[in-house]
Structure 1
Amino acid sequence: MSEELELTIREAIPSDAAELLKTTRKIGQETEFLVMDEKGINLPEELLAIQLEDIYESSNNTLFVALLGDKIVGTASLKGSNEKRISHIVELGISILKDYWGMGLGSILMEELLLWAEENPEIYRIKLTVQEQNTAAIRLYEKFGFKKEAVMERGARGNDGRFLNVLLMSKMIHEVEG
């Protein structure tokens, strides 16, 4: 029997800062798949709230939160640069609390990010890095049209200090002439 969850996906706002800090700390403790460690987002709540406001107002940055009630159970982001020559490129990141892995939340968050990017005339390339050992994430990215571009040997370290290979993947959006 499958339990149906009442899930809300929306852009993060400054008042999410405290819950976002709590959630990212937990996610950072649960997996070594992310760059983020057990500290999560290592910022004071007030500074994170200011950054969330900046992200919300930005034309090439977004941060979505997945909520069950008031609890953030996952995040999804696209992060762009202010530098004119690379402002068309955004880096994708998705993180989900371990209790919610395997429920399709990654696909839901990916759909939201891609919709946001495709509606944004400034974005032409989405890139991401993923540890080679994170096969579930790689399958998700490939399902949504991301292609492997390179392997970065020793691109990350595991919790036990061993070196891990990291894949660079990307997806192009919007047609370009010439």
Structure 2
Amino acid sequence: MVSIRTFEWEDANEFYNYLMKVADQTPYLSFSGEDVRVRFTPEMLASQIENDHLNISFLAIDRQKIIGLSQLSRNPLPRFANRAEFAISVDKDYWGKHIGSQLLEKTIQWGENRWHVGGIYLDVANDNERAFNLYSKYGFKIIGEYPILITVDGRDLAGKMMYKDLRNKPRVRKRSVSRYK
């Protein structure tokens, strides 16, 4: 059974290995396997948990193995306190098993209930239909275009900026019952 929990110090090595694996599975992440090798260390990744008011990472775990990751981050400046940025990845062996949905739900709940942000932003490549469908299902709307979102193997990929407004949640209306019939 898959569990979703926050990233802990003892996850650092497994987390690093997970990033190495998923970076080579898809071109849609902001980093490649080589980027992970050159720019990250397990200790550097673990240091993120010290700032849970600015960065929070949720892990999807199956049999003690990390199979998915979602992250929410925000700028420390007070003028940016009401917004957050979202990122997600799932091991390709687990695509289509609703791991992304579980991670997204947990992350949105954190943003709403812990950080009390008004909105969450994310970027998605135009041809990443799987991600676009997931984000749309959870109420993210396209609010902008990137002619160049990322460059993969010398090829520029265009993308979209999406946004989920957490301020104006639909309220459930109680039906008024007339006493007079």
TM-score range, shorter-chain basis? Answer: 0.7 to 0.9
Q: Which runs of 5+ in 1 are unaligned?
A: 1-5
* Residue identity in the other structure for 1:67: I
Please give the secondary structure, in 2, of the residue aligned with 1:120.
helix
Give the AA of the match of 1:145: G
> How far is the alpha carbon of 1:44 from its aligned partner?
2.0
Alignment map for 1:9-158 (pairs within 5 Å): 9-39=4-34, 41=36, 42-52=39-49, 54-55=50-51, 58-158=52-152
Q: Distance in 1 between matches of 2:103 and 2:43?
A: 26
Deviation at 1:40, TM superposition (A): 5.8
Normalising by the residue count of structure 1, what TM-score does the alignment of the two structures yield? 0.88
Q: Which runs of 5+ in 2 are unaligned?
A: 170-181
> Which one-letter code corresponds to 2:64 in the other structure?
D
d(CA) in 2 for partners of 1:148 and 1:43? 31
Scaled by the length of structure 2, the TM-score of the pair is 0.86
**Contact 2:125-2:157 at 8 Å conserved across structures:** yes
Output the CA distance in 2 between the equivalents of 1:104 and 1:82: 32
Contact (CA 8 Å) 1:26, 1:40: kept in 2 or not?
Answer: no
Q: State the alpha-carbon separation in 2 of the partners of residues 47 and 61 from structure 1.
A: 13
Q: CA deviation at 1:69?
A: 1.7
CA shift at 1:121, angstroms? 5.0
Whichever of the two has the greater Rg, that structure is 2
Q: For the residues of structure 2 that align with 1:123 and 1:169, how far apart are their CA atoms?
A: 16
Whether contact under 8 Å (1:93, 1:128) holds in the other structure is yes
Q: Is the 8 A contact 1:154 1:166 kept in 2?
A: yes
Classify the secondary structure of the residue corresponding to 2:114: coil
**Structure 1 CA distance, aligned partners of 2:53 and 2:167?**
16
